[in-house]
Amino acid sequence: MSDETIENVVIIGSGPAGWTAAVYAARARLEPLVYEGAPSREMIPGGQLMFTTEVENYPGFAEGIDGQKLMMEMKAQAERFGTRVVTDDIVEVDPSSRPFRLRSAEGKEILARSVIVATGARANWLGLHNEERLAQTGGGVSACAVCDGALPAFRDQVLAVVGGGDSAMEEATYLTKFAREVVIIHRRDTFRASPIMAERALANEKIRVEWNSEVVDVLGDDFITGLRLKDTETGAEREMEAGGLFLAIGHTPNTAFLDGVVELDESGYIVPPNPGRVMTDVEGIFAAGDVMDDYYRQAVTAAGTGCMAALEAERWLAHQVDGAEPATDVPAEPVSAEG
């Protein structure tokens, strides 16, 4: 790639959304270039599924599949159709230039006719050493109850959920299907959750709450066995049994490099101007996956929007080539199903 090369589409990110977009774009002969990101303490290429040891709710795998293997298979499928991959981060996008000018962390300038942002969101963690270690090794620490709660290792266990918002209430209620008991751990003496969500959780006989408490250590070598809690009022510490720990303290979208580029909400998620579509408020820039979804946050929904972003980018690019006026509303002709 020389500095004069103009890419048809640059895909930023390498989770289910990014690789699905790459598969569709490559099969459309757009020769996509994927910047899959560089490994860091918080994220690695492949996204959050790289920290998931077993995925049982992605269609097509009757016996489940290891999260890392799933992402490697998606990457290999994209590369099979000619996708090129660079292990680096995009740190700047100039929306005023056509083609768009992108700059990587290593200082490379990339010119692109269209851009698909699929950088995802990272789960917020407590920042404890054992928490991070056990999360990365499949030791019973997770940031997604819907993804992992049904795994055999968590059946009939005491499961802990950290948080006090609606997400924590949803996760705790969901886990009661599998757990012997669910313990919500909250720093304060009242929840931040909406009244109806809090009431529903508190009314569940399988749920109890450790008020005014914070987790200061995660116990266990290969798999979590318990937690050390500190009373936020007295400072006294105690231990509690736990066969699983689920963090429900929010997610942070990876959009810092897009501040002032496209419209973001107050939490940093990309806001497409047309609900149900993936074009951002800057024509030629599309969003896919968790970077625009603070609600579902599932691999299968991310993959779906990756497909949408590639299809919309293909159509938008075709209109530029044909000399038609660019439009946010892409013509609604039927999309043919490809095998």
Task: Give yes or no for residue 330 having a pLDDT over 60.
Answer: no
Q: What is the mean pLDDT of residues 322-326?
A: 44
Q: Is 94 a catalytic residue?
A: no
Query: Which member of 89, 147, 293, 307 is catalytic?
Result: 147
147-186: pLDDT as tens digits: 889 999 999 999 999 999 998 999 999 999 999 999 999 9
Q: Give me the percent of the chain exceeding a pLDDT of 70.
A: 92
Is the pTM higher than 0.85?
Answer: no
CATH of 6-122+251-322, one of 1.20.200.10, 3.50.50.60, 3.40.30.10, 2.60.320.10: 3.50.50.60
What is the model's pLDDT at position 321?
65
Task: Give yes or no for residue 110 having a pLDDT over 60.
Answer: yes
> DSSP of 247-308, one letter per residue?
E-S-EEES-GGGTTTS-B-TTS-B--SSTT--B-SSTTEEE-GGGS-SS---HHHHHHHHHH
What is the model's pLDDT at position 333?
43
The residue type at 241: E
What is the model's pLDDT at position 328?
39
Q: Is 307 a catalytic residue?
A: no
Q: Report the alpha-carbon angle 262-266-272, nearest 5.
A: 40
What is the model's pLDDT at position 55?
86
Burial class (CB in 10 A: 0-12, 13-18, 19+), 26: buried
Q: Helices 166-175 and 195-202 sit at what angle, rounded to 10 degrees? A: 30
Q: Give me the percent of the chain exceeding a pLDDT of 90.
A: 79
* Band of pLDDT at residue 326, cut at 50, 70 and 90: very low
Q: Is 156 a catalytic residue?
A: no
Query: Which member of 89, 148, 290, 293 is catalytic?
Result: 148
User: Would you kindly state where each structural domain of the chain is located, as residue ranges?
Assistant: 6-122+251-322, 125-247
Task: Give yes or no for residue 325 having a pLDDT over 90.
Answer: no
17-37: pLDDT as tens digits: 999 999 999 999 999 999 999
* Band of pLDDT at residue 336, cut at 50, 70 and 90: very low
Please determine whether the domains at 6-122+251-322 and 125-247 fall in the same fold group of CATH: yes
Query: Which member of 89, 144, 290, 307 is catalytic?
Result: 144
What is the model's pLDDT at position 45?
87
Instruction: Please name the fold of domain 125-247.
Output: FAD/NAD(P)-binding domain (3.50.50)
> DSSP of 204-246, one letter per residue?
-TTEEEETTEEEEEEE-SSS--EEEEEETTT--EEEEE-SEEE
